[in-house]
Structures are given as structure tokens and as C-alpha cells.
Amino acid sequence: MVLCCLSPIAGRMVHADFDGGRLTSDAGVLVLAEIERRLGIAERLARCLTDSRAPGQVRHTLAEMIRFRVLLIAAGYADANDCDALRTDPAFKMALGHLPETGEDLCSQPTMCRLENLPTISALKRMMAIMVELFCDSFPAVPRRIVLDIDDTEDQVHGRQQLALFHAHYGERCFLPIHIYEAITGKPVAVILRPGKTPDGAEVTLVLRHVIHRIRARWPKVDILVRGDSHYGRPEAMAWCERNRIGYVLGLSGNKILLARVTGLAEDAAVSRLEGGDPAEKVRRYGEFRYAAKSWHVERRIVARVEASDRGTDSRFIATNLAGTPRWLYKAVYCARGQAENLVKAHKVHLASDRTSCTKATANQFRLVLHTAAYWLLHTLRGLAPRRSFWHRAQFDTLRLMLIKVAGRVTELATRIKVALPSSYPYRASLTLLVSRAARPP
């Protein structure tokens, strides 16, 4: 098959044909494979599953299939259908320990779909615990303090998937999975599939209890701060944090009583703006007071931020058990929670974790676990880069485009396998450094 009708260049005809040999467009997955071996994610997750297949007829182990799926997701192939197109790709075969030419092909799409529907609820609980263990294992020493950002994101569904509900705010049927990240390092802690409705206090408390108890089992003395928006400012969650020496900074929905408590701040901000003379200027004031709703058993510290602009006055509230000035608590601590939205974006958009199209909720939760494992691969790859380099702050889609999508010709020889990369590849020094660091023992 020839690519015809290409325009001549400098008076010479252009001839393009598919005769370049055994090539791959994803040679960078060999680096991700080294990182996966370093973390041992596939083996950890496979141990949570029960393989009911006849041992004599098994061609692809559970760990191998999980590794293949996670590498596909990290390389930008988010669907199980991609297994059929890439099961013979030399780079992916080498990443799974198969010879590129004479080795057995990797598993197909039907086999991968059977894997996705294999986990039970008990197996998924073990997997979620494994992901928290992976988070703890990623630190070379016990940290003094960690900051857990908790948030949910809309995951639109099509069809009659389990747990799908209509959400009036989004105007469609969806899931609202909960994402938890460690804010200082950007590492994922847990991603939990849940119905398309706002979580109540009991659900928020249950999630925090399971995750934090697992962390505290490893690090009994670590200081933990939980941050979240008003979806998570529930009295049950705050009471649980207070009983378990957990710091919290949680958004609080405004009401008539709260707004009445900041009337003076609102008037002061509005007058200061008018006296300033600049109509585009925004004036902010911060304050604090003690407050207890009727359903609360104790009064809690409330921090208020009032902003006056050309659109009027806007008041926001947070509840916290931390010490510090109101301005610092709101601006430096609570607003920094916005970084979690970028982490959710990396998980949802760059790794396409909203491909939760299975009918069973257990299969969709397993997909979220696999996408979180792919997140770990790219996050670890980025962490191997020098701190002042471009790669240390690059988005996942940039890492994939520049470091994973690398063409290579693979040749299987009698005593070795040769991978010929492009001589014109512009990031050879960076890729060489990352491979050397990925190959070191953890």
C-alpha cells in the first residue's frame, strides 16, 4: 500500500510506502515499563483477584493483562478496543517481557473485557487498600505532615450503568466519583466511583475514615490536614476529624445567619471600594466568628471572606479547627485547594478516566483503579526529572507526546534486541537521563 498523490519537493517526486520494517510509535513505553516494575503495581493488584481459569489453559496472567492495560492508558490508548490493534506492537510486547517478533502476542479486547468484569466488591476493597499502601510506599521517609484534598468531578454516562443518576446542576445522568490527592506532592490516594449526587455527611465520613485509618496504620504520628469545598463541609465529617486529631479546612454553604454575621465586613468592603475611586478594583475583607447550626453539637470556628466589586458583594465561608489569621487560612490554605482541580484534570482528561462505560459498577470502579495506576506511572516519570527542568512541571499529555510517542525500529537478533530510535529525536538527552534513573533500584 502506497501513499500516493503527495506533492513533489524541489522537483523530486515523493514516494511513501509501509515498508519501514518492524516499527513502533510508542518506544517510550519501555521507560514506563521500568517504572511499573519499580512500583510493582500490576503484581499488587493481581494478588487481589481470584483467577478461576484452568491453570493449564492460561495464556496471559492477570498481572500481565493489568500491566498491558495500564501501559495502554498511560500511552493514550484509553479503550479496551485498543488491545486488538496493539497486541502485536513490538514496544508493548517488550514492555511485558515478550520477544518483539517471535514472542507470543498480547491479550485481545475480549480477554481484557473479561478481566474488567472479574473483580468483586471484596477484591475492589483490597485494591483500594493497595493503592493507599502504594501511596505510603512512595515516600522514602515518614512525612511530618500531609495535606489531603478531596473533591468530586462530573462523569457523564450514556446508557443504563449502575449508580448513574440525573444531576440537576449538570443537566444529565452522571457519576460523581470522589478523588483524593496529597496536595504537597500531587500523588493520588484514592479515586472512588459513586452515584451522581452530592455526598452526604455519612458518606464523606466513611470515605475519610477508610482512607485515613489506612494511612495512620502506617504512619501513626503523621499530621493530616483535610481540605474540601462545601460538599464536604458536613458536621459528621468535622466531628470525626476532631475526634481523630485531623485538621480540616472545609467550605461552608452560606445562609441568612452567616450572611448576617458579616454585614459589617460587607459594608466596610463596599465603602472602601467606593473611596478607592477605581471601579474595576476588588476589595476584600476577612473575619471570623463562632457558629453552630441547629444540627451541630458544638460551635466551630468560621472564617469569612467578603469581596466587593462592580458586581456587588460576595461572601464565602469556611469551617476550620486550625489556628492562624483569617486571611492566611482562607487565602493561603483554603484557596490552595484549587490545585486539586488540575490533578483531577490530569486524571480525567489526560488519562481519560471518564471512560466508565461498563454496565456493572464494579467494572467501572476497576477502570478507575487502572487509570490511577497509569497516573502513578506518569507522575513517577515526571518525578525522576531534575527539579529545575521543564519535565518536572510538564502536564501528562506533554510527557506522553514528547517522551512516550517516540518512533523506533525493533530488530530481534540472536543474542540481543536492538531498538533504533530516530537520530533527529530532539529530547535524546532527557530521555537517556530518565531511563537511567528509572532503571535504578527504588
- Is residue 419 in a domain? yes
Percent of the chain with pLDDT over 70: 98
Residues 261 and 405 in one domain: no
pTM for this entry: 0.93
Q: Are residues 306 and 333 in the same domain?
A: yes
Q: Which burial class, exposed, middle or buried, applies to 162 when counting CB atoms under 10 A from its CB (0-12, 13-18, 19+)?
A: middle
Residue 374 lies in a domain: no
Q: What is the pLDDT of residue 18?
A: 74
What is the Cα–Cα distance from 442 to 438, expressed in whole angstroms? 8
Nearest Cα to Cα of residue 288 among 261, 250, 257: 261
Q: Residues 147, 277: one domain? A: yes
pLDDT value at 316 more than 90:
yes
Q: Is residue 366 part of a domain?
A: no
Classify the C-alpha dihedral 204-207-212-217 as positive or negative.
Answer: positive
What CATH number does the domain containing 224 carry? 3.90.350
The model's confidence at residue 269, banded by pLDDT at 50, 70 and 90, is confident
Residue 103 DSSP code = S
Q: Kindly state whether residues 177 and 307 are assigned to the same domain.
A: yes
Same domain, 325 and 404: no
The model's pLDDT over 155-209, given as tens digits with 9 standing for 90+, comes to 999 888 999 999 999 999 999 999 999 999 999 999 999 999 999 999 999 999 9
6 and 83 part of one domain:
yes
pLDDT, mean of residues 311-336: 94
* Pair 273, 389 in one domain: no
Cell of 288: 471570623
Question: What pLDDT does residue 442 have?
Answer: 60
Closest by CA position to 237, among listed 174, 148, 330 = 148
- pLDDT of the residue at 289: 94
Confidence class for position 439, pLDDT limits 50, 70, 90? confident
For the stretch 29-67, pLDDT in tens is: 999 999 999 999 999 999 999 988 888 888 999 999 999
pLDDT, residue 1, reads 66
339-354 average pLDDT score: 94
Residue 2 has pLDDT above 70, yes or no: no
Of the three residues 326, 350, 374, the one that is the final residue of a domain is: 350
Task: Examine residue 116 and state whether it is found in any structural domain, yes or no.
Answer: no
Report the SS3 class of residue 397.
helix
- Measured CA to CA in angstroms, residue 208 lies from 215, 242, 353, 419 at distances of 10, 12, 22, 47
User: What pLDDT, in 10s, does the model give residues 76-99?
Assistant: 999 999 999 999 999 999 999 999
CB 313 within 8 A of CB 306: yes
Q: Mean per-residue pLDDT for 228-246? A: 95
Tell me the three state secondary structure of residue 284: strand
| Domain-located, residue 71 | yes
Residue 379 inside a domain? The answer is no
| 427 part of a folded domain | yes
Say if 195 falls within a structural domain: yes
Task: Give the pLDDT of residue 3.
Answer: 73
What is the reported pLDDT for 20? 75
219 and 92 part of one domain: no
Is residue 274 located within the same domain as residue 418? no
Overall average pLDDT of the 97-107 stretch = 94
Expressed as residue numbers, the domain containing 394 is 2-108+385-438
Whether pLDDT at 280 is above 90: no
Same domain for 401 and 263: no
Say whether both 104 and 129 belong to one domain.
Answer: no
Asked if residue 236 and residue 264 are part of one domain, the reply reads yes
Q: Are 374 and 73 in contact (CB under 8 A)?
A: yes
Helix (H, G, I), strand (E, B) or coil at 137: helix
Q: How many domains does the chain have?
A: 2
List of residues 6+ apart from 291 with CB closer than 8 A: 257, 258, 261, 299, 300, 302
